[in-house]
Amino acid sequence: MQHLLKMSDVTELEIYNILKSAKELQSTTIPFNTQGFIANLFFEPSTRTKLSFEVAEKKLGYETIDFTLESSSVQKGESLYDTVRTIESLGASAVVIRHPEDNYFEALKTNIQIPIINGGDGKGEHPTQCLLDLYTIYEEFGTFTGLKVVIAGDIRHSRVARSNALTLQRLGANVAFSGPSEWQDNNLQFPYVSMGEAVSTCDVLMLLRIQNERHDAELGGSDYLTQYGLTVEREKKMKEKSIIMHPAPVNRGVEIADELVECSRSRIFQQMKNGVFIRMAVIHMLLHKGGVSNETTTKKRSLI
């Protein structure tokens, strides 16, 4: 694996190997022996993903190059390719990119030799968020096979929904969506269920933020919570062992009632913790060409 761009490019075995590496890195840091630099290019606002990558990089012994859009040559018309090529020429070991264009990496992956890690592309994918969500689910249940996962909310504008739904299905989970009809994505062939059915049947309820920046008009509020969100009354109907997830940032009182964000079945802040270890594992794999290449050398179903 040279880059991490889309979850469909990552084999099932590589997924399990990343999860295994993340588990190991929770207790054992693997610093590199030589100085290295990783550039974080975020063309969209980010708190969790950007800071999580920075912490992961520093835990692995890397210096971080913090790219600032406002003071860069992008303001003078420099292309993304030339920006990344410049960073590569300056000696960076890898680059993490979040960009508002879908599939921005298609213009980069042929000629850029250092690893490119997709930190989110438009409404496309968010592979490291998917991996940390997988890790959170696997820690909880020890399997994906047969789990009922409902992804609820702004499906059409969510890169998280796309990455997670397709990958969870590939790993054996039963995936369904829930949310307003105007936010459905007809390109994703998954059944839609009501929020009432979702809470009573799911093992994992994955709520999504309403992405107002991708809408023509701002939507949401208490009406959304009542119709499509997780209210206190709905949470009481969830199965005993089911969990709540959210990629954050959370619109409290919109997708989820404020008092449920940190309730006993919520794994929202655990997801954030897991993000550091997953991103450490991804960086380690890409820069060390690590990972198991022969399936016979590992038992992928018992990695964690």
Please give the annotated binding residues for L-aspartate, written as ranges.
76, 159, 209
Six-digit token string for 71: 């003071």
**254, burial (CB in 10 Å: exposed 0-12, middle 13-18, buried 19+):** buried
Please, are residues 178 and 205 in contact by the beta-carbon 8 Å criterion?
A: no
**Which strands form 243-245's sheet, in the order they lie side by side?**
174-178, 148-152, 204-207, 243-245
As annotated, the binding site for carbamoyl phosphate includes: 48-49, 98, 126, 129, 248-249
195 vs 261: CA distance, rounded Å: 17
In what helix (H) or strand (E) does residue 272 lie, and over which residues does it extend? Answer: helix 268-288
As annotated, the binding site includes: 48-49, 76, 98, 126, 129, 159, 209, 248-249
Six-digit token string for 46: 């980010």
- Partners of residue 206 on adjacent β-strands: 151, 245
Please, are residues 149 and 178 in contact by the beta-carbon 8 Å criterion?
A: no
Six-digit token string for 272: 């954030």
Six-digit token string for 247: 């990629």
Burial code of 126-150, b = ≥16 C-beta within 10 A, e = fewer?
bbbbbbbbbbbbbebbeebeebbbb
